[in-house]
Amino acid sequence: MSGTRLKIGDVFAVKLDEAQKKYFQYVADDITQLSSYVIRAFKKAYNTDEVPDLRDVIRDEVQFYAHVFLKVGLKFGFWEKVGHVPEVGKVDVLFRGTNDFGNPKIKVSEIWYVWRINEPHVRVGKLEGKSRDAEIGVVAAPEEIVARMRTGKYSFVYPAFE
């Protein structure tokens, strides 16, 4: 797996169950978040035997953006690389984080920071306005990406903002 070369634009398939799969595309590298890969996952599910045109897949509605270590997911079979579509367009996504993550005693955080890909983190305190729509910015484990593609949410506990 160490020889796997990944490029922005690579498209991956995730098997949701025996009948369905979804796709995501590698769209950026974020040096401000552990130099991790940024992906965008798409909402539309396909039958496992379907082979859609990947150019159509990446035009689908985006379900979410996330940071992930792609090679780990490949190595352990959470997804497979199915092709490459170099067009990623403008990736303008806002991420959020809090140092309260991982503390089970804190249910609601008021010490948030937000950032865009490869830009500095900005401390905002309470999340207000557009910051409330920001994606959770932790580098998610591959099984968390699959969980969110299946259910619409991560399985880990993350502080709320109110």
5 within some domain: no
Confirm if 110 and 96 have CB atoms less than 8 A apart: no
67-91 pLDDT, tens digit per residue, is 999 999 999 999 999 999 999 999 9
18 within some domain: yes
pLDDT of residue 101: 86
162 within some domain: no
The rounded distance, in Å, linking the Cα atoms of 88 and 91 is 7
Average pLDDT for the chain: 94
13-52 pLDDT, tens digit per residue, is 999 999 999 999 999 999 999 999 999 999 999 999 999 9
**H or E stretch covering 67:** strand 62-68
| Count of domains forming the chain | 1
Q: Which residue has the higher pLDDT, 105 or 10?
A: 10
Which residue segment(s) compose the domain that 15 sits in?
10-151
2 within some domain: no
From residue 48, give the alpha-carbon distance in Å to each of 19, 29, 53, 147.
5, 29, 14, 17
Check pLDDT > 70 for residue 162: yes
Check pLDDT > 90 for residue 11: yes
